[in-house]
Structure 1
Amino acid sequence: MGFNVEPTELETEHRLGPFGLATIKPYSRTRRSVDGSALMKVYLGIDPEGRRLREVKTVGLAAIRGFSVPAVMATGQDRAGSWTVFRMLPGTSCSIGTSRAIEEYLGHVLDVAGRLHQPAAGPPPGSGWMAGPDDPTTQHHFLLDQLSGRCKTMPWWASMEKALQPLESHPVVHLHGDLKPEHLLVDGGVLHVVDWEASGRGPAVVDYADVVFHLVRDLIYEDAPPGRFPVDRMAELPLDGPVLAWRLILWLDRRRPSDIDLISTHDVARLTAEEHPAAACMELARVVSFLRAAGVPR
């Protein structure tokens, strides 16, 4: 008779804890051990078990490729949900608090991307670094499949689908999937990369769109002065108006149900039409500013 040898979350807490109070995010609940050596992450919301398996596998592969990543101390699925305990890494999260901090952060992004975005010969686009039987066979469907079915009923859907089709000429590379300041930890001369649950295989522009989207959104929601917007620096990244539009819609799609109704066909058309990276960044900033004023939560 077979049996499950994975430890339960409670057993792991007794062995590696105790753990402190939880920090709740939209798609995870995390708790640090009292001695600071471990972090327990419980996956919430969209496909928690798939995200757990994807992150555990990708962390192992990223370590083989030379990235400094958090070691997996325990992982499992039980009545409490899908969870993983990672060894805590030293270092401080990147910041966007000053123009200099933003410059340093973007430098770290380019370092990570240069090592990460090597062509993934063979596997089609999809989630994680290992191909699965149900992975999309096209780049633009890899992105569109991440949006909810409700998006397909929106008047801008057909134009978004058409605007993303040129991605088929891009090589498939390994993606982190959620590059932002808090996922890059600086420890002296060492850069640690954490939170790999959204990892995937697809066009490199997806990672750069993540970087720019989070940077623009966070600066706007923090009421940053115009001088903090590094438009020229962001324009040096391989950006793409249609992918920025897709990333914006992905954010709205995962907020309150009514928030997706706030973006118009005109907004989508203007952003997807932008061919110059600097113009695309400014158009993104315009739309995000409008959405913030309309009450969309960060």
Structure 2
Amino acid sequence: MAAESVRDLLVDLSSRYGDWCTPVVKPFSLNFRNAEGSAILKIYRGIDPVRRQEREIQALSSAFKCGLKTPQVLEAERLGPDAWVLVTVVPGRPLTLGKSVDMEEYLHYVQALTRALADQQPPAAPGAGWGHNHDFHSTSEYLTGMLSARARRTSWWLELCSKLADLDGAPLVHLHGDVKPEHILVEAGRMYVVDWEACARGPAVMDVADAVFHAVRDYQYDSVEGCVASALRALALTDHNMPPLLAWRVALWADRRRQLDIEGLPGQLMTELLTSVTAVDACTVLIRIVREMCKTGTPR
């Protein structure tokens, strides 16, 4: 959305929601909070804004109906290729990862989220969103389809495809799709979950792997020595499909940043990650990969 269009939108909405604060700029969205702290305006940008808006609105409604605490949609609109949504602000503080106890708390809430989503009627096919207009024949087809032609030319591509194929027989659930500490807010022991635009359908371990990836990456970018491995052991998060999913997730991150970041993923370490036996071993290798990407300046 052009800067002039954003200004016009803010002026129009200010008549109903008051003044707007300086936006939080993310890779694929602009997020404005109104001054009174009651509403958040998300303007989608970059990859497929309209479909991301559709997915988020549907997931917010469905997740709320299944008992999860989520923001409520106040207004939404599509303007040609652009889209935005206005939602209520939920109470609570975002989770942080400053200490090992924080990591265990974070993964406890991730488990609670995945259990709540698994209690819904299972979807019939994997794919993006919670509807069935973007179905895939298999989980591996869905995951590999999100990576670019550049990823397919890497030395580790065939190994990744082979390992992801092991997921194709796993039961399907509805997924949040972008689990990270800032998307889980807690108030008096109650969990609120925000930012559902990446919602999807696939095996439950996908959300757990996503949560672990974000914890590892953000620990490294904040120069904090994390305790991911000990938290995984304490919570028995040891699914054998975790290593290939972590490899896929770090590849997706690199593929969606600078053009050459995907080619800069260290091939030997990616192979080590893909052939890791346990989730704990995989996290150890993932930390080394993220450190290498930090050194080359890959944006978070």
Q: Does 1:291 align with 2:293?
A: yes
Q: Is the 8 A contact 2:129 2:200 kept in 1?
A: yes
SS at match of 2:290: helix
Report what 1:3 is aligned to.
none
- Whole-angstrom distance in 2 between the partners of 1:203 and 1:26: 26
Q: Is the 8 A contact 2:215 2:228 kept in 1?
A: no
- Whole-angstrom distance in 1 between the partners of 2:185 and 2:33: 16
Q: Give the TM-score of the pair, scaled to structure 1.
A: 0.91
Report what 1:123 is aligned to.
124
Of residues 228, 231, 236, the one that matches 1:230 is 228
Runs of 4+ in 1 over 6 A off after TM superposition: none
Q: Is the 8 A contact 2:150 2:262 kept in 1?
A: no
How far is 1:81 from its partner? 2.5
**CA offsets per residue over residues 219-246 of structure 1, 9 Å max, x none?**
1112213xx3231222422352111100
SS at match of 1:206: helix
How far is 1:50 from its partner? 0.4
Superposition map of 1:251-290 within 5 A: 251-290=253-292
Q: Is the 8 A contact 2:125 2:172 kept in 1?
A: yes
Deviates more, 1:159-168 or 1:45-54: 159-168
- Whole-angstrom distance in 2 between the partners of 1:149 and 1:118: 36
> How many aligned positions are there?
288
How far is 1:286 from its partner? 1.2
Residue ranges of structure 2 left out of the alignment (5+ in a row)? 1-7
Deviates more, 1:82-91 or 1:288-297: 288-297
- Whole-angstrom distance in 1 between the partners of 2:123 and 2:89: 34
SS at match of 1:85: strand
How far is 1:119 from its partner? 6.6
SS at match of 2:75: strand
1:211 corresponds to which letter in structure 2?
A: A
Q: Is the 8 A contact 1:240 1:275 kept in 2?
A: no
- Whole-angstrom distance in 1 between the partners of 2:281 and 2:105: 23
SS at match of 1:220: helix
Superposition map of 1:149-168 within 5 A: 149-168=149-168
Superposition map of 1:1-298 within 5 A: 9=9, 11-78=12-79, 81-118=82-119, 120-132=121-133, 134-225=134-225, 228-235=226-233, 236-237=236-237, 238=239, 240-298=242-300
- Whole-angstrom distance in 2 between the partners of 1:280 and 1:48: 33
- Whole-angstrom distance in 1 between the partners of 2:283 and 2:231: 11
- Whole-angstrom distance in 1 between the partners of 2:9 and 2:78: 8
- Whole-angstrom distance in 2 between the partners of 1:29 and 1:290: 29
Deviates more, 1:73-82 or 1:162-171: 73-82
- Whole-angstrom distance in 2 between the partners of 1:192 and 1:224: 26
Percentage of matched positions with identical amino acids = 36
Deviates more, 1:188-197 or 1:74-83: 74-83
- Whole-angstrom distance in 2 between the partners of 1:12 and 1:190: 30
How far is 1:142 from its partner? 1.1
- Whole-angstrom distance in 2 between the partners of 1:63 and 1:76: 21
**CA offsets per residue over residues 101-136 of structure 1, 9 Å max, x none?**
22221211111111112475352001111111x421
How far is 1:12 from its partner? 3.4
Give the CA RMSD over aligned residues.
1.8
- Whole-angstrom distance in 2 between the partners of 1:80 and 1:297: 26
- Whole-angstrom distance in 2 between the partners of 1:122 and 1:259: 34
SS at match of 2:220: helix
- Whole-angstrom distance in 1 between the partners of 2:113 and 2:72: 18
2:232 corresponds to which letter in structure 1?
A: M
SS at match of 1:41: strand
- Whole-angstrom distance in 2 between the partners of 1:243 and 1:292: 20
- Whole-angstrom distance in 1 between the partners of 2:192 and 2:179: 12
**Structure 1 pair 122/251, CA: closer, same or farther in 2 (3 Å)?**
closer
